[in-house]
Amino acid sequence: MVFNLYSLPLYIFSLLMLILAFTAWNYKTAGGAKEFSMLALACALYSSAYGLEISSLNLETVLLWLKVEYAGIAAIPALFILFALAYTEKSNRFSIIAKSSFFIIPLITVSLFYTNQLHGLMYQDVFMDQEGLFPVISFVRGPWYWVQNGYVVMAILYSNVLFMVMWFNANKVYRRQIAIMLLGSLIPWFGLVIYLFRPLTWNLDFNPFFLSLSSIIFAWGLFRYKLFDLVPVVRAKLFEELPYGVLILDPALRIIDINDSARCYLGLDCPAIGQKAAEVLSYWPELAKLLAAIDRKYHVELKKEDNGSTHWFRIDFLPLKGENRIVTGYIILLSDITERQEAEEELKTLATTDILTGLWNRRYFIETMDKELKRAQRYRHKLTLVMLDVDHFKKINDSFGHQAGDYTLQHIGRLFLNRLRAVDTAARLGGDEIGIILPEINVDDARKLAVSLKEAVADNPVDFKNSVIPVTVSMGVAALTETMSGLEDILSAADRALYQAKEEGRNRVAVSTVNGSEEGLQ
């Protein structure tokens, strides 16, 4: 053997293939990584052995290295197919037996090559050609040689089709990535054509060079875009099947991609690709307005009214930045949070509402009263409080049962809710005690309202299980004055008026005066 300068690139390619094979094997749980690793090993074996072959001077040594080469040569087309299937997510369409069948022709090829001297099916005649740049093997091709190369042609062509179909079916965002893989699958054609037709090549085999180049391009696409972690077909599938709506915009805020969930959420019948997002979403002005100011990563929660129904969405805005932190596009994520919003509202309602009567509960009453009191004191607004309870409520429970008592409270709650203003707050404070906050109303108007509520209760007896239960209420009214320092003062004033009404015979309204005494019973 001698050192052949032309073998040096082959050794470099072989070393690079070994590095790529080892690196890819570390990603063997990802689709296509294991198959690529084995393909790179086969290419490394082919390249290194061919480098040693063209460095040999006699036929016996050349045939020895050629036998080593064929272990890689025969396996490459089967591994090429397996890699393309795994990468394009078509591998699961084939059983283990079907995948194993891809190696039938390679096994026959290796067996026939090792026993070629018995039958000549691979090479009918072998000799050294001394007329080129250096001595190389030359041979007369046998019938199985053409079967093997036909298999190579079929494998490369099938892989080309798989990558091309994947490119056509993929979203535009991923086509550049897949184009690299398609290019890598086309490169072997150059080596194959040159090898089969040998145009002025001095019987040299250029397949190791082009196969190594093909593997390098595969690795570039895989590692550059980190597609071993998530290949484009999986990304595309994830993009379409995500429960989140996804819009991808270019720097000019035109829609360049949109998944089915987003179209459903936004009520779009067509993809709207290429259109201005603000124009497409003009029917939802709150969102369209936000699109004009996507300068950072943030999220909002927006309400969307659609044909009488209300939906809530969390919307995330994600600017995409490339080199020098220049914005290259935007991602908008939409997630339907209607159920969560409704659950939160329900929890809020449960936390602030009296379940029995539908009125507010004591906690909400105290919080609201404190806010209204501070607001009234700050802006010198009027504020009046009404306290009441049901006359002889214990007697109703004892005579008709607790269900009748509960029904009575519900009945009074409905009467009040139908007669109070939207700004008024009626709350059940406990037992049969009810408080009513009346903002921005003077004491005279509050007394008139209390009298009308009292009369409404008296005029509408409770009809419970065929029993008519007469019900009356006693009420105390207190207005906020300058002498009152806080919440306790107005509550105490209203309570004193309530007890005055009860002491005077019940079914009455008493009003607390500025000096603490009560005036007038009605």
Sequence ranges of the domains in the chain? 5-232, 242-342, 353-521
Is 3.40.50.80 the CATH number for 353-521? Answer: no
Tokens 């997002």 map to which residue?
Answer: 277
Cα–Cα distance for residue pair 396/469, rounded to 1 Å = 8
pLDDT at 155: 93
The residues annotated with a catalytic role in the active site are 432
* Superfamily designation of domain 242-342: PAS domain (3.30.450.20)
- Contact 324/316 with Cβ under 8 angstroms? no
Q: Give the type of residue at 282.
A: S
Strands 509-512 and 473-479: parallel
Structure token pair of residue 32: 């296509």
Counted residue by residue, the chain has a size of: 522
Cα dihedral across residues 37, 39, 43, 46: positive or negative? positive
Half-sphere exposure of 191 (CA within 13 A, CB side): 21
b/e per residue, 313-324, with b = 16+ CB within 10 A? bbbebbbeeeee
Q: How far apart are CA 507 and CA 502, in angstroms?
A: 7
C-beta of residue 245 within 8 angstroms of C-beta of residue 252? no
CATH number 1.20.1070.10 given to 5-232: yes
Please determine whether the domains at 5-232 and 242-342 fall in the same fold group of CATH. no
Tally of CB atoms within 10 A around 468? 8
CA quadruple 172, 174, 178, 183: dihedral, nearest 10: 60
Question: Considering only CA atoms, which of 456, 461, 462 is closest in space to residue 475?
Answer: 456
HSE on the CB side for 59, CA within 13 Å?
A: 9
Write out the H or E segment, with its range, that includes residue 288: helix 285-291
Predicted local distance difference test score (pLDDT) of residue 521: 46
3-state secondary structure of 354: coil
- pLDDT at res. 314: 93
Q: What is the pLDDT of residue 56?
A: 87
Least Cα distance to 367 among 487, 256, 447, 235 occurs for 487
User: Can you give the pLDDT at residue 515?
Assistant: 47
CA-CA distance, 432 to 324, in Å (whole number)? 69
Block mean pLDDT (10 aa), the chain, length 522:
79 88 71 82 91 87 90 92 86 87 94 92 87 80 92 93 86 74 89 72 77 85 58 59 84 86 84 84 88 80 85 91 76 91 85 93 95 92 96 95 95 95 95 96 96 97 93 96 90 95 95 57 47
Which tokens is 164 given? 């091309």
pLDDT for 94: 87
Prediction pTM value: 0.49
Task: Quote the pLDDT of residue 221.
Answer: 75
CA dist list (Å): 416 to 239, 254, 358, 452: 53, 54, 11, 10
